[in-house]
Amino acid sequence: MVSELLMPRRFQLPTFAAELGSVPELASAIVSRVAFWVVVGVPFLSLPLLATGLDSQTTVAAFLGLLAVNLLALVLSRY
């Protein structure tokens, strides 16, 4: 009652768990949201590798690993 006085119901955001019904739906939504932010963030990690050049095998392996993580996160963010 007090919370409704402070913030009317139309302005209250529903809780994340209440929007989703079951545990698998909740887990799927969490994985999807985390994967989206991984897709956003991983390219920033590859910028230093590209700026210094892909001269050594370890740098190329790190870049390809980041690319693979980004592609996997892209697929997971769609579900």
What is the average pLDDT across 3-14? 50
- Residues 67, 46 contacting (CB under 8 angstroms): yes
Q: Is the pTM of this model over 0.85?
A: no
38 Cβ contact list (under 8 Å, min separation 6): 69, 70, 73, 77
Alpha-helix residue ranges (DSSP H) falling in 1-79: 2-6, 16-19, 23-52, 57-77
Cα–Cα distance for residue pair 24/27, rounded to 1 Å: 5
Residue range 18-68, pLDDT digits in tens: 565 677 888 888 888 899 999 999 999 999 999 999 899 999 999 999 999
